[in-house]
Structures are given as C-alpha cells and as structure tokens.
Chains A and B, each alone.
Chain A
C-alpha cells in the first residue's frame, strides 16, 4: 500500500500567518458569487493542519476523515455567521476542536466503558489502523498521551507536535496563556513519568 507521510506539513499553520492574504480571503468569502471558489481555497489551505489536529486526538484515520468533513461542512453552513472577529484559522480550529471533543464524548457514552477502558480501546484501534506506522517507543508515547485528560491532551499535542504559539492556542481553546503553560508543563511531567515507569 502506497502511503504518504504528511506529518511534516503540519507546519503549514505557520505559513498561514499571512494575515493580509487571510483578510482578503475573508472579504471575498462574503461575496456569494465567489464563495464556493474561495471556500475551496480555504479547504486546500487548512485541510492538512486541521486533519492532523483531529487525528492526534482520535488516532484513527477513518474517524479523522469524517470529523474533517464535518468541520468544513459546519464552517460552510455558518460562513454568514463568521464576523471576522477572530482569525479564520482560529475559527476553523475551534470548530474542529469542538467536533472532536463532541465525537469523543459520544463514543465514550455509546461504549459505556469504565474510566481508562475507553482510552485503551482508542489505543487498540490505533494499533489496528493500517495508517499507523509507529515503532514501540512511539506507541508508548501515544499511550502516555492517552493517559492525560482530553483537554490536556489537546494542549500537549498542539505544543509538542505543532509547536503552536501559546497565544494561538489560547484563542482556539479559550483559555489563558498562563493556564496553558501550566497545563503543558504538567502534561510533560506526567508523560515523562509514564515513559519511565512503563
């Protein structure tokens, strides 16, 4: 099976720091005649960072694919409600985050598993996913990340894998920079302990 390793492209988010271009996209998005073409550009620009943001939380490609589609559909249906008060990317990341957390909560409820067993199920599904290519250490790291509470998992993933700025994370997650720094610090400590003890 031919596979494409795309994780390095997550850095696209940094490239999307072209605020002028973004302002222009948002302005054109308000024109109904241009909207489909502009939205198509936006999908091409953000699909990769959003996909990896979701995938790191749900771990399995099929789920990440469904959630990415739901994220863009929700954005498309709510374009008129986007007032441009936040950055376009922040708005999209917020939608993706909400979709992902809702999905995980639904899965947890549907499977009615005791605390910890749901994470174990996610881990097993990740191992069985044909689009997982990690070695033993990477598996252990994913298991350690899964031991964190969901919100802390988000913070850890955004900082550790994407090196996202705390200010951008704060805009997406609606938390203060100080709280995010503390959360990341605790997450690193927990993961380090997990890696030592397992």
Chain B
C-alpha cells in the first residue's frame, strides 16, 4: 500500500483563527515581564557580592588571628608558671590578688 498517495500526508488538525499571531504576541508579553537583568546591573551585583565577600573574609581572618593570639598568650603564661619554683609560684598568685 502506498501510504503517501493514499493519505497525502495531510494532518487532520486545525488551530483557532489567528492562533500563531496571538501566540507570538502573548509570548512577547511574557518575555517582556521576564527579561533578564541588563549586563550593567549584573556587573554591579557581582562587584557588590565580591566586596561583601572580601569584608567577611577580612573579618573572619581578624577574629581567627585574635583567637590564635589569645590562645598563644594563655599557653605561654602556663608555660612560664610551670617553670617557677613552688614558692615563687604561690607568691605570684598572692601578688596578683593583692
């Protein structure tokens, strides 16, 4: 059977009148509402994000460094105290609380 001759490849479907004209016009509206942000705005958003990131990084580094120094000082004090004779050790505490 020659199907092409028999059915002439016709699609038995139709669309509403002016469907394609209306569809493209409707889609233009959708695109207008969903337009991506212009490149300049996106550039400023990227710069602002980078600055915020940098500030956070610096703050975290400062906090970590302070914590490191505090820990080092405490450890050094303990080390110094461990090196003292018992009399001097107690003397140190008595003096610190007088």
Contact = CB atoms under 8 A, between A and B. Distances in A.
Interface of A: 1-7, 10, 32-33, 35-36, 39-40, 43-44, 47-48, 51-52, 55-56, 59, 61, 65, 68-69, 72-73, 76-77, 79-80, 131-135, 137-139, 141-142, 160-161, 163, 188, 191-192, 195-196
Contacts of B36: 32, 35, 79-80
Contacts of A7: 10-11, 13
A132 B13 contact: yes
A56 B12 CA distance: 10
B34 A137 contact: no
A38 B34 CA distance: 14
B17 A2 contact: yes
Contacts of B11: 7, 10, 52, 55-56, 161
B52 interface: no
Given A3-B17, A40-B28, 4 more contacts: A7-B13, A35-B35, A55-B11, A59-B13
Contacts, number: 108
A138 B32 CA distance: 41
B16 A3 contact: yes
Given A137-B7, A138-B7, A138-B10, A76 B15 contact: no
A4 B38 contact: no
B15 A3 contact: yes
A131 B7 contact: no
B14 A131 contact: yes
Nearest to B7: A141
A55 B6 contact: no
Contacts of B7: 137-138, 141
Contact of B19 (A4, A133, A161, A195): A4
Contact of A188 (B3, B10, B13): B3
Contacts of B17: 1-4
Interface string B11-47: 1111111111001100110111011111100000000
A7 B11 CA distance: 6
Chain A CB count within 10 A is highest, among B1, B7, B13, B18, for: B13
A163 B11 CA distance: 13
A4 B37 CA distance: 38
Contacts of A47: 20, 23-24
B23 A68 contact: yes
Contacts of A163: 9
